[in-house]
Amino acid sequence: MNEVEVYKRQGFGHSSGFGDKPALLIIDFVVGFCDPNQYGGGNILDAVARTKVLLQAARKNKIPIAYTRLVYAPDGSDMGSFCLKVPGLEKFHEDSPAGQVAPDLTPQPGEYIVRKTQPSAFFGTGLVAWLLGKHVDTLIIAGATTSGCVRASVVDSMSYNFRTIVGSDCVGDRALGPHEANLFDMEKKYADLMTCDQIIALLSAT
């Protein structure tokens, strides 16, 4: 019995579906994570290109849009264990060029920027209150990295009872093995996987 059959026999992988009030969350697609010479590589730039298309559709359909950035204090006072595991993240300050949202995805007025110091977009931020204030029931997630901050945010999104959709071609990782393994695992337990085109079709139908 292969892995897929094991999960199916045990009842994993059901769809949580697409609700009535979606929002788009773009995780850590910042300059430093799009640059292979910093923290990028793998399929991240391809995922940015597809996310640009998804972002345009989200704006056209007037759904709430949020972005995350890693932002640490210049004096290092809010550094934690994440920076011990990945030295150099502490250089992502408010005005650091590496920490700015990628130019192809530049936020527009009215779009929410979540500043975080941990992998999850939810941990220690105002994201939940913002989503609830907009009556969101479905969170579409794009960003980087699939195995890191995307996965952490997907698990927390589901834990807060949002229907969670991962744009399978809108998330990227610096290594394809972890990317593919985490897509498989998230789809079986925490989220629905949909391509950019599938998500746009649903947005257009709402």
Tell me the per-residue pLDDT of 118-166, one tens digit each, with 9 for 90 and over: 999 999 999 999 999 999 999 999 999 999 999 999 999 999 999 999 9
Residues serving a catalytic function are 149
Radius of gyration for the alpha carbons in the chain, expressed in angstroms and rounded: 16
Sign of the C-alpha dihedral, residues 32, 35, 38, 42?
positive
Backbone angles phi, psi at 65, to 5 degrees: -130, 130
Domain range for 36 is 19-205
Query: What integer pLDDT is reported at residue 133 of this predicted model?
Result: 98
CA 57 to CA 126: how far, in whole Å? 25
* pLDDT recorded at residue 194: 98
Q: Parallel, antiparallel, or unpaired: how do β-strands 138-144 and 22-27 relate?
A: parallel
pTM over 0.85: yes
CB 203 within 8 A of CB 22: yes
Q: Does residue 34 fall inside a structural domain?
A: yes
Task: Examine residue 7 and state whether it is found in any structural domain, yes or no.
Answer: no
6 in a structural domain: no
Structure token digits, residue 54: 């998804």
Domain assignment of residue 13, yes or no: no
Query: Is 9 among the domain residues?
Result: no
Q: Write the CATH number for 43.
A: 3.40.50.850
Q: Residue 136: phi, psi to the nearest 5? A: -70, 135
Q: What is the 3-state secondary structure (H, E, C) of 33-59?
A: HHCCCCCCCCCHHHHHHHHHHHHHHHH
Tell whether 14 is covered by a domain: no
CA separation for the pair 112, 31 (Å, rounded): 18
Residue 25 is inside which H or E element, if any? Answer: strand 22-27
SS3 content of the chain, % helix, strand, coil (to 5): 40, 20, 40
Q: Is beta strand 138-144 parallel, antiparallel or unpaired with respect to 112-116?
A: unpaired
| Length of the chain as a residue count | 206
Tell whether 71 is covered by a domain. Answer: yes
For the beta carbon of residue 190, count every other beta carbon within 10 angstroms: 17
- Whether 5 is in a domain gets the answer no
**Which of 133, 203, 153, 146 lies closest to 180 in space, CA to CA?**
146
**Which of the residues in the chain have pLDDT under 50?**
none
Count how many domains the chain has.
1
Tell me what pLDDT residue 1 has: 61
> Which letter does DSSP use for residue 94 in this model?
T
